[in-house]
Amino acid sequence: MQFIDLAAQQARIRSGIEARIQAVLNHGRYIMGPEVEELEARLCAFAGARHCVACSSGTDALLMPLMAWGVGPADAVFVPAFTFFATSEAPALLGAVPVFVDVDPVSFAMRPAHLERAIEALQKRDASIYPLPKAALERSLTPRAAICADLFGQAARYEAILPIARRHGLMVLEDAAQSFGASRRGRKTCALGCHAAGTSFFPAKPLGCYGDGGAVFTDDGALAETLRSIRMHGKGRDKYDNVRLGLNGRLDTLQAAILLAKMEIFSDEIEARQQVAAWYVEHLSDVAGVAAPLVEPDCTSVFAQYCVLLPEGRREAVAAHLKQKGIPTNIYYPKPQHCLAVFAGLGYAPEQMPAALDASRRILALPFHPYMDRAATRQVAEALKEALS
Ligand SMILES: Cc1ncc(COP(=O)(O)O)c(C=O)c1O
């Protein structure tokens, strides 16, 4: 069994991909060729956002808006304690201090009420209100931004996050690396009202290219202009008129071409993902001890990963049993952010973010992709049942 079956997808659209690649080979504009703009327009229309700036990765899609906002060492940036490292790495790269906020134990998204408490704690420099990094007690930091990760494919609760951010003057960056194509209350991710959103086109993502890629979305035209400048070494009127520090942050034309071919089937694949998830729910409902992912009412998930929670202490044996049955699994993520060695200097204790810690100990990702059939989901559920019985 495959964990993610990119070969099945390729077999379906191979001729379309080859035609797109051929077109790039013919015109030869490998950097910022016409496919990049075509893709940006297509992604804007799909998501319902005003501006899209394609870029080199999901990580740069987070870094670039933070750079545009001038986030730096005097700033605190609130990030979820349970996410992929890039969410907290991006502000830390700019010298800002990540302030961890615990997550919802079911959706794994940043908890809005905890965000509010963390902001208050930071403003009062009082860690009895909410756990704070050492740096926030030693010096005064400005609460500048919150980055919320739409973990595993479902959007965070922006309708609750945005009013809090507005009250405290924070920018909100949606980390939609795992959620492109999902929706919340009738709107698609990357167009949920945040100041900016970044997504990833890493090959295993719901919309993936054949290398690294990403995109930033925003409704703010001035920000989009700045992002276009940052993407190309801080260019001004032309690329040798550098007006700010930037990056080599462009998306390759070839990757844009591949994404355009994949856009042809993306909506169909999102539907297939819903079907696979429904089969899993049906088969897992009868496996005691396994909590299947829950999608909130009026929301859809694209299930970038299909992660279940197992009883404490059983994960390693369950994964070993599944492996023996030819079923691959993965752990996203074995360590919460506040426990990573790179952040040891922030001085957090593991128990300070209990939901993140618990998730890191009990979570297991099962095989999931749009080309999976019902029998495969049943096979996984049966193997889980045996392992837990
Ligand atoms: C939540 C999250 N944020 C950011 C990223 C970074 O994306 P990329 O690998 O394209 O840099 C990822 C990629 O795995 C992710 O899962």
Instruction: Write out the E strands in 60-209.
Output: 75-80, 97-101, 142-149, 171-175, 183-184, 187-188, 196-200
How high is the pLDDT of residue 148? 98
Q: Is the CB of 251 under 6 A from ligand 1?
A: no
Q: What is the pLDDT of residues 298-327, one digit of tens each?
A: 999 999 999 999 999 999 999 999 999 999
What does CATH list as the number for 6-101+109-261? 3.40.640.10
Q: Rounded to the nearest whole angstrom, what is the distance from the C-alpha of residue 337 to the centroid of ligand 1? A: 14
Chain-centre distance for alpha carbon 167 = 25
How high is the pLDDT of residue 63? 98
Each domain of the chain, given as residue ranges in start order, spans 6-101+109-261, 266-388
Q: Is the CB of 305 under 6 A from ligand 1?
A: no
Options 3.30.420.40, 3.30.360.10, 3.30.1490.20, 3.90.1150.10; CATH of 266-388? 3.90.1150.10
Place of tokens 């905890």: 114
**Amino acid in position 68:** A
How high is the pLDDT of residue 108? 98
Helices 253-284 & 374-388 angle (0-180, nearest 10): 60
Lowest mean pLDDT among 57-61, 76-80, 239-243, 358-362: 239-243
The best mutation among 178, 250, 330 to test binding of ligand 1, ranked by most ligand atoms within 8 Å of the C-beta, falls on 178
* Cβ–Cβ < 8 Å for 253, 31: yes
Q: Whose CA is nearest to atom 10 of ligand 1?
A: 58
Q: What is the pLDDT of residues 168-210, one digit of tens each?
A: 999 999 999 999 999 999 999 999 999 999 999 999 999 999 9
Nearest Cα to 231, choosing from 210, 252, 254? 252
Cα–Cα dist 221/318, whole Å: 50
Mean pLDDT of 207-234: 98
Q: How confident is the model at residue 370 (pLDDT cuts 50, 70, 90)?
A: very high
Average pLDDT of every residue of the chain: 98
Mean pLDDT of 135-147: 97
Atom of ligand 1 nearest to the CA of 57: 10
Atom of ligand 1 nearest to the CA of 213: 10
* Cβ–Cβ < 8 Å for 79, 101: yes
CA distances from 51 to 65, 216, 353, 374 (A): 13, 8, 36, 39
* Cβ–Cβ < 8 Å for 357, 350: yes
Cα–Cα dist 377/42, whole Å: 33
Q: Rounded to the nearest whole angstrom, what is the distance from the C-alpha of residue 99 to the centroid of ligand 1? A: 19
How high is the pLDDT of residue 260? 98
Q: Rounded to the nearest whole angstrom, what is the distance from the C-alpha of residue 88 to the centroid of ligand 1? A: 11
How high is the pLDDT of residue 328? 98
Structure-token pair, residue 63: 């870094």
Q: Rounded to the nearest whole angstrom, what is the distance from the C-alpha of residue 317 to the centroid of ligand 1? A: 28
